[in-house]
Structure 1
Amino acid sequence: MKKYFLLSLLFQLFSATIIIAQDFWETSNNGLNANHIYSLSVQSNNHIIAGSLGKGVFLSTDNGTNWNEINSGFPDSSNVYSLAVNSNDYIFASTDEGVFCSIDNGENWAIKMPNTSTGALAIDSNNIIFVDTDDGIYRSTDNGEIWSKTNNGLPQHFINFSFAINSKNHIFTGSGGAYQVYGVYRSTDSGDNWIEINNGLPSDINTFSLAVNSYDDIFMGSENYGVFVSTDNGDNWTEKNNGLPVNSAVYTLAINSSNQIFAGVWNKGVYFSTDFGNNWAQINTGLTTNNVRILTINPSGYIFAGTYGKGIFKSINSTTSILGEGITPPMFILNQNYPNPFNPSTKVSYSIPYITKVKVEIFNSLGQQVQTLVDEEKEAGSYSVEFDGEGLTSGVYFYQLSAGDFKLSKKMILIR
């Protein structure tokens, strides 16, 4: 019986496949007098803000159907490299002429950091603003009225392309490789001090993008090396490129409320992962260009792609919709657990194509059940559940998805 069980489990092991049935994207350019979009951000009311090269800022209040130019107070031909919104829905724009702020949905703008070329911009949950400049990183605690330099621990000539902030307000920033400065740095004290966190990263990696999911896992998109992930606050990094093109330049990352990850790969379009980056699939149907510069997702789950040359595209359906026409699970899918090996916990993600009774169980190498993670009816869609191996010995375990007569299993390794 044990032998039969193990053979059955081994027979079921295979990688996930995802199929896109029809167009995922549609153009979103009505009223948008700009072709090159470098920045996107979202307000809490689902308003979308777009920053362009040479044309300033645009606003959509109807989910991208129409756009209006909102450049009162902006210099002519402004290049808007980064956008961020604070908890009051104030909009901050980083440009080649400084940082601007609007407190009235973009109707008027005021200069907050003049005569300075600025780049990456981010705001934490305490409304502290961080911005990259040619002179390093600056911080403001009063909506941009006063700025202070916060470079302690950063290399000289540090120029970053991206920020990410986790639920603890730890800040992560990545170097774009200027002056042969590479990798990722972290601050746990609002930018007062920074430390290098590059264990597992190539020594010459250029960081293009950073994003954090609801588990505080950090995803990093790079030039030529694809995607890396850290599950321990940046202390260690693991490459996650299965399904991505070789030598991918990942300019932008976005994560929805279901922890699905979207990556804009230069000259290759958009890829997505439903299993924490373990596997990627291309999702370009409806795109008329592969040069995606920036991605953002609004609270309703719609994803917007800013491109170089073709303006903006948006998803036809919400990325978090259970039965969205863009991404509907065509089959039962059981993804590889993440992380693997693990200690003591790991995440198991799966997809089901229709409503059914679902079981997710854990077995040891003897075929003995050690835990049941899921045992209930589920709607069609993608799901994730955490397995805690506390109290179990090191070794090989199997996790199994069951739905009626259908069964899928995969192997995972617990290391103490």
Structure 2
Amino acid sequence: MRYIFILTVLLLSFNTFSQPISWVEQTSGLTTQLTSVSVVNDNNAWICGYAGRVLRTTNGGANWVSVNAAPIPLTLDLHSIFAIDSMTALVAGSGSSSFLFRTSNGGANWTQVFTETGGFINSVQMGNAFAGFMMGDPVGGRWSLWGTTNAGLTWDSTNFYLPQAGTEAGWNNAFFFEVTSGVWFGTNNTRVYKSLTLVNWTTQPTTGQVNSYAIWFNTPLTGFTGGTALLMTTNSGLTWVSPASPLPGTANLSGITGFGSQWVVTRQASAIYLSPDNGATWSTSYTAPAGNFRHIAKSRANNLIYYGVRSNGGISKGTLLVGIEPVSNIVPDKFELKQNYPNPFNPNTTIEFSIAKNSIVKLAVYDALGREVNSLLNSELKAGEYSINFSAADLPSGTYFYKLSTGDFVQTKKMILVK
């Protein structure tokens, strides 16, 4: 079923404005640790995890299908996955040696395309359908850096020489690759490495943070990295400094993504944090019911869809709420869910509600049997007045209920769809 909604927001301040992300839990069918996610578009995404697990969805996460098969051993922990498209993916795993597997038929069959004795691949990414790069911990005193120009069928390390400094190593998914901007990857040595050419490398100190567990750039100039605290750059990593406001929480970072001035960050804990203003302010976008986040990624097709994967096999899907505009600085003095209008309706109706203070807000629609037919909103909102235009074009005629829930308030109202 497809639903269209527009959220208009009356905010306390017009200086910065975030687009909330509505989160829902999805079913993986697993309890093993999930470590990496790659999102092709709104419908197609791939996930990997421990014990050789690979999952794939072609319907936006409504169903996740296990597609791990020989020669991927169930004893191999997988740490990084990149989906080129809905059918083609690369997944890396490491034990006493590192391995890379490739499928071109949706995971029905896999081929081992790379191995390195004593290696540990931290991340594999493609810049386009043909050109990609892979980063692993140093072997024999040099970083394990590999490139492909044929969609991952073969890999070559010629000219990709970067000597190891001391005993330094990298981190799973602490890697950012964009064809026009270059490559950055994190280490446990108070530095990140950057290259524009993949031949010549520069060292960028992360003073104050020994580890850089995750790294992401929204623009060629602006990026975030960090270990237990975030660092920010506005000059392509020449200098890394603390953002205007610290990220909430204390656990190690596990994932960073975003677009424009908006950032989505996870720690190895249960919360997802959101900043609309390059780290000037932070809020909790979502708190998972169990498990700790290991990685987060957004759709490469747009900025609308997000997935976070967790240590207990949990999957959280986020949908960016588009069409949001601040229209007033009025702050209501109470929580309130108003009657939709028109009512009865066919098929569009407007639902308005007021939030008296910053809150985690859930707005859902239920049928007459109490079954949830849509979660319109599940995110932290600032105090304000909100309006959602809800389309029930794909629902049958009947009586429906919509419920607003916050930590301090629950209210339900009835609406009637007549076609």
TM range (shorter): 0.5 to 0.7
Structure 1 unmatched ranges of 5 or more: 1-11, 333-351, 356-416
Change (3 A) 1:147 1:166: closer
CA offset digits 1:221-265 (Å, max 9, x no partner): 3222x2112121111222126252364521111214x55211111
Aligned position for 1:202: 207
1:53 to 50, 54, 64: 50
1:252 to 250, 255, 269: 255
Asked if the contact 1:118–1:134 (Cα under 8 Å) also holds between the matched residues in 2, the reply is no
Question: Equivalent residues in 2 for 1:366-405 (5 A)?
Answer: none
Asked if the contact 1:153–1:194 (Cα under 8 Å) also holds between the matched residues in 2, the reply is no
Asked if the contact 1:60–1:68 (Cα under 8 Å) also holds between the matched residues in 2, the reply is yes
1:184 to 170, 192, 195: 192
Deviation for aligned residue 1:321: 2.1
Deviation for aligned residue 1:188: 1.1
Instruction: Give the root-mean-square deviation of aligned CA atoms.
Output: 3.2
Change (3 A) 1:283 1:314: same
Aligned position for 1:119: 122
Q: Which amino acid aligns with 1:69?
A: S
Aligned position for 2:200: 193
Change (3 A) 1:277 1:290: farther
CA offset digits 1:74-118 (Å, max 9, x no partner): 112331101123479631111014111112222211111125432
Aligned position for 2:224: 220
Residue 275 (structure 1) aligned with residue 284 (structure 2): no
CA offset digits 1:129-181 (Å, max 9, x no partner): 22214422321223241321623365254422211124524111110x1xxx2
Change (3 A) 1:259 1:19: closer
Deviation for aligned residue 1:203: 5.1
Change (3 A) 1:284 1:45: closer
Q: Which amino acid aligns with 1:197?
A: Q
Change (3 A) 1:87 1:193: farther
Q: Higher strand fraction: Structure 1 or Structure 2?
A: 2
Change (3 A) 1:84 1:13: closer
Stretches of 4+ aligned residues off by more than 4 angstroms: 12-20, 327-332, 352-355
Asked if the contact 1:184–1:207 (Cα under 8 Å) also holds between the matched residues in 2, the reply is yes
Q: Give the Cα–Cα distance (whole angstroms) in 1 for the partners of residues 226 and 191 of structure 2.
A: 9
Q: Give the Cα–Cα distance (whole angstroms) in 1 for the partners of residues 57 and 91 of structure 2.
A: 16
Q: Which amino acid aligns with 2:170?
A: N
Deviation for aligned residue 1:124: 2.3
Aligned position for 2:186: 174
Q: Give the Cα–Cα distance (whole angstroms) in 2 for the partners of residues 148 and 322 of structure 1.
A: 46
Aligned position for 1:85: 83
**TM-score, normalization by structure 2:** 0.65
Deviation for aligned residue 1:13: 9.2
Q: Secondary structure at the match of 1:207?
A: coil
Q: Give the Cα–Cα distance (whole angstroms) in 2 for the partners of residues 157 and 237 of structure 1.
A: 23
Q: Which has the higher contact order (CA 8 A, sep 6+)?
A: 2
Deviation for aligned residue 1:353: 6.3
Deviation for aligned residue 1:204: 4.9
Aligned position for 1:100: 101
Asked if the contact 2:184–2:192 (Cα under 8 Å) also holds between the matched residues in 1, the reply is yes
Change (3 A) 1:284 1:329: closer
1:29 to 27, 30, 45: 27
Q: Give the Cα–Cα distance (whole angstroms) in 2 for the partners of residues 75 and 244 of structure 1.
A: 38
Asked if the contact 2:16–2:276 (Cα under 8 Å) also holds between the matched residues in 1, the reply is no
Asked if the contact 2:245–2:282 (Cα under 8 Å) also holds between the matched residues in 1, the reply is yes
Q: Which amino acid aligns with 1:164?
A: F
**TM-score, normalization by structure 1:** 0.66
Deviation for aligned residue 1:36: 1.2
Asked if the contact 1:38–1:307 (Cα under 8 Å) also holds between the matched residues in 2, the reply is yes
Deviation for aligned residue 1:45: 6.5
Q: Give the Cα–Cα distance (whole angstroms) in 2 for the partners of residues 259 and 19 of structure 1.
A: 11
Aligned position for 2:317: 314
